[in-house]
């Protein structure tokens, strides 16, 4: 039986990329499963890629309705246009529902869109940012924003020591912190997440208490994140949301049946699944090293190489994959891959969703981080959670074939493999517990839903974090 709607209606607004739509859409599904009407608002260019049970979808404009980011060409132009057009169309969307049966009473927005809070407040409704990075990464950027960590960092300030975090060397820090001049627009976007947080009614983080609770406690004054993750389709964790086998958003067509058919012929935990997510673009040299490293390992593999990357592969290598040792696909359903019993290791760029998916499904990992928060996630995968190893790059920033082969051997059969598998099983269970009924994340979502309900019953919007705000 579907839960009864209690009159709350939440707009969920992700940044329009795969790694942001997935967790926010999943959060919308959790709200819907608890009786809140949830509508995902996303750009015209991405709206047709969304299809999720019980979630309405509405378009908003980023000013580039035919081609999205690619049409804008530069980050600066895109982000400014998104802010201007997005604010306007979000406001129109809220107005559209004002006299309907389900007026909107809250906007849960991607923390990359601090302007969405202004729009929510103009309409007198709740506003809550959703952070898609790990809590540890949020806590680092938050400290940079507050001047606790100053950029550029000096030699003598390293390793960076922060409460509840391991000592962080330069290679462990997000690339925008390592080299602030490298991507100024992205660094600026990271830092715009924090200035108006004190005006937000609720702050959400896609992580869970057991994984990063200590980190949050220690940065609470600056970043009061409520951990509600991992935001992974229910079929892979608690199975409480009916038929929830995928995120319900795919910006590219997944080749699911090809992968499943190929995997059927492989034995348990024998195959390496390789993916660099939706954004990383490798150099030709790096692609070649990856290719020959995989071949040299003599293990079977599935490698997701996006259409735009395919030409970088050596042609002799493509011939080899037709001989059954490997399968190259332009996109797949990653969760189906990770959940398949034939997969024994995940070679990942350590994007936060991929990290949570590997962890939540208990798959040992080889981290090959390239930029942004991936470097920090890789550190935690190896050193803190012990669920994989981090492959080292040479002085040119290239992961060499021998190193990849060594890491694969270590995770599949090396000295540390038993311990890694044990840890992977432990974290899989803890992730499941957190989101299951009565788990830490489930309780946080329930609290939020209760507050929405209270606000509605009283017919007023009150500050959710107000200590006196009890129903
Ligand atoms: N993904 C997928 N199919 C693929 C590769 C990736 O469905 O072939 C999904 C993956 O499950 C994850 C998202 O794309 O949810 C990538 O997010 P992540 O944060 O890992 O990396 P990003 O793409 O943002 O760098």
* Residue 55 and residue 233 in contact, taking contact as beta carbons nearer than 8 Å: no
Indicate if 226 and 302 belong to the same structural domain.
no
Indicate if 92 and 224 belong to the same structural domain.
yes
Indicate if 177 and 57 belong to the same structural domain.
yes
Indicate if 339 and 359 belong to the same structural domain.
yes
| Nearest alpha carbon to residue 229 among 132, 107, 348, 368 | 132
Return d(Cα 122, Cα 120) in angstroms, integer.
6
Q: Give the residue, out of 14, 110, 278, 304, with the most ligand 1 atoms within 8 A of its beta carbon, to mutate for a pocket test.
A: 278
pLDDT given for residue 311 in this prediction: 95
Indicate if 204 and 318 belong to the same structural domain.
no
pLDDT given for residue 457 in this prediction: 59
- The answer to the question of residue 245 being in a domain is no
Digit-coded pLDDT (tens) for 211-248: 999 999 999 999 999 999 999 999 999 999 999 999 99
SS (H, E, C) the chain: CCCCCCCCEEEEECCCCHHHHHHHHHHHHHHHHCCCEEEEEEEHHHHCCECCCCCEEEEECCCCCCCHHHHHCCHHHHHHHHHHHHHHHHHHHHHHHHCCCCCCCEEEEECCCCHHHHHHHHCCCEEEEEECCCHHHHHHHHHHHCCCCCCCCCHHHCCECCCCCCCECHHHCCHHHHCCCCCHHHHHHHHCCCCCHHHCCCCEECCCHHHHHHHHHHHCCCCCCEECCCCCCHHHCCCCCCCCCCCCECCCCCCHHHHHHHHHCCCCCCEEEEECCCCCCCCHHHHHHHHHHHHHHCCEEEEECCHHHHHHCCHHHHHHHCCCCEEEECCCCHHHHHHCCCEEEEEECCCHHHHHHHHHCCCCEEECCCCCCHHHHHHHHHHHCCCEEECCCCCCCCCCHHHHHHHHHHHHHCCCHHHHHHHHHHHHHHHHHHHCCCCHHHHHHHHHHHHHHHHHHHCCCCCCCCCCCCC
- The one catalytic residue in 20, 340, 349, 451 is 20
Residue 351, CA distances (Å) to 134, 192, 358, 467 in order: 10, 20, 11, 35
pLDDT given for residue 185 in this prediction: 87
Ligand 1 neighbourhood includes 354 CB (under 6 angstroms): yes
pLDDT given for residue 462 in this prediction: 41
pLDDT given for residue 470 in this prediction: 38
Indicate if 185 and 211 belong to the same structural domain.
yes
Ligand 1 neighbourhood includes 46 CB (under 6 angstroms): no
Q: Using DSSP bridges, classify how beta strands 343-348 and 365-367 pair: parallel, antiparallel or unpaired.
A: parallel
Q: Give the residue, out of 351, 369, 374, 375, with the most ligand 1 atoms within 8 A of its beta carbon, to mutate for a pocket test.
A: 351
- The answer to the question of residue 468 being in a domain is no
Indicate if 231 and 340 belong to the same structural domain.
no
Relative to the CA of 352, which ligand 1 atom is closest? 19
Q: Which domain holds residue 316?
A: 256-431
How confident is residue 318, by pLDDT bands cut at 50, 70 and 90? confident
Indicate if 95 and 135 belong to the same structural domain.
yes
- The one catalytic residue in 110, 172, 238, 300 is 110
Is the per-residue pLDDT at 157 higher than 60? yes
Task: Tokens for 180, please give them.
Answer: 């602030």
Q: Catalytic: 20? A: yes
Q: Give the list of residues 6+ apart from residue 165 with CB closer than 8 angstroms, or none.
A: 136, 139, 215
Indicate if 90 and 228 belong to the same structural domain.
yes
pLDDT given for residue 7 in this prediction: 83
Q: Using DSSP bridges, classify how beta strands 56-60 and 37-43 pair: parallel, antiparallel or unpaired.
A: parallel
| Nearest alpha carbon to residue 145 among 177, 173, 115, 179 | 177
Domain tally for the chain? 2
More confident site: 440 or 316? 440
CA of 1 to the centre of ligand 1 (A): 32
Indicate if 203 and 300 belong to the same structural domain.
no
Give me the percent of the chain exceeding a pLDDT of 70: 95
Measured N-to-C along each axis, helices 417-435 and 440-458 cross at an angle, to the nearest 10 degrees, of: 20
pLDDT given for residue 221 in this prediction: 95
Indicate if 267 and 412 belong to the same structural domain.
yes
pLDDT given for residue 1 in this prediction: 53
Is the per-residue pLDDT at 400 higher than 70? yes
Digit-coded pLDDT (tens) for 277-302: 999 999 999 999 999 999 999 999 99
Residue for token pair 């080889």: 366
| Nearest alpha carbon to residue 190 among 384, 371, 63 | 371
Q: Using DSSP bridges, classify how beta strands 9-13 and 365-367 pair: parallel, antiparallel or unpaired.
A: unpaired
Return d(Cα 243, Cα 235) in angstroms, integer.
7
pLDDT given for residue 4 in this prediction: 61
pLDDT given for residue 179 in this prediction: 94
Ligand 1 neighbourhood includes 385 CB (under 6 angstroms): no
More confident site: 315 or 442? 442
Digit-coded pLDDT (tens) for 27-41: 999 999 999 999 999
CATH of the domain at 68: 3.40.50.2000
Ligand 1 neighbourhood includes 224 CB (under 6 angstroms): no
Indicate if 282 and 415 belong to the same structural domain.
yes
How confident is residue 455, by pLDDT bands cut at 50, 70 and 90? confident
Q: What length is written for the chain?
A: 471
| Nearest alpha carbon to residue 385 among 410, 403, 364, 412 | 364
């Amino acid at each position: 039986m579907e839960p009864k709607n209690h009159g709350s209606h939440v707009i969920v607004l992700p940044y329009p990329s795969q790694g942001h739509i997935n967790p926010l859409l999943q959060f919308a599904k959790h709200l819907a499963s608890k009786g809140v009407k949830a509508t995902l608002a996303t750009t015209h260019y991405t709206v047709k890629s969304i299809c999720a049970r019980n979630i309405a979808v509405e378009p908003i404009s980023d000013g580039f309705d035919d081609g999205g980011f690619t049409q804008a060409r530069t980050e600066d132009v895109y982000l400014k246009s998104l802010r201007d057009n997005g604010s306007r169309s979000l406001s129109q969307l809220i107005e559209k529902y004002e006299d309907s049966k389900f007026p909107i009473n809250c906007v849960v927005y991607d923390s990359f869109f601090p302007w969405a809070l202004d729009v929510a407040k103009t309409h007198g409704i709740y506003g809550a940012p959703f952070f898609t990075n790990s809590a540890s990464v949020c806590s680092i950027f938050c400290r940079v924003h507050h001047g606790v960590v100053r950029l550029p960092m000096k030699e003598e300030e390293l390793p960076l020591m922060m409460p509840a975090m391991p000592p962080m060397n330069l290679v462990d820090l997000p690339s925008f912190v390592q080299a602030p001049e490298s991507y100024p627009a992205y660094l600026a976007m990271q830092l715009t997440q924090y200035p108006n947080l004190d005006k937000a009614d609720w702050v959400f983080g896609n992580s869970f208490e057991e994984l990063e609770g200590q980190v949050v406690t220690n940065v609470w004054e600056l970043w009061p994140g409520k951990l509600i993750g991992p935001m992974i389709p229910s079929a892979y964790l608690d199975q409480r949301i009916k038929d929830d086998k995928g995120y319900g958003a795919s910006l590219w067509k997944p080749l699911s049946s090809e992968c499943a058919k190929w995997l059927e012929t492989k034995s348990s935990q024998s195959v390496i699944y390789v993916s660099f997510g939706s954004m990383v673009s490798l150099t030709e040299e790096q692609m070649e090293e990856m290719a020959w490293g995989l071949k040299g390992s003599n293990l079977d593999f599935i490698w997701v190489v996006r259409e735009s990357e395919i030409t970088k592969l050596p042609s002799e290598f493509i011939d080899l994959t037709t001989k059954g040792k490997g399968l190259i696909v332009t996109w797949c359903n990653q969760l189906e891959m990770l959940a398949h019993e034939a997969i024994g290791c995940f070679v990942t760029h350590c994007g936060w969703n991929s990290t949570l998916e590997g962890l939540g499904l208990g798959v040992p990992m080889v981290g090959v981080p390239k930029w942004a928060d991936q470097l920090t996630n890789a550190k935690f995968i190896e050193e803190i959670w012990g669920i994989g190893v981090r492959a080292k790059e040479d002085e040119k920033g290239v992961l060499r074939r021998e190193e990849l082969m060594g890491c694969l051997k270590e995770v599949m059969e090396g000295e540390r493999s038993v311990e890694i598998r044990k840890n992977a099983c432990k974290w899989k269970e803890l992730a499941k517990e957190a989101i299951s009924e009565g788990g830490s994340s489930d309780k946080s979502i329930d609290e939020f839903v209760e507050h929405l309900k209270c606000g509605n019953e009283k017919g007023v919007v009150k500050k959710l974090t107000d200590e006196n705000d009890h129903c």
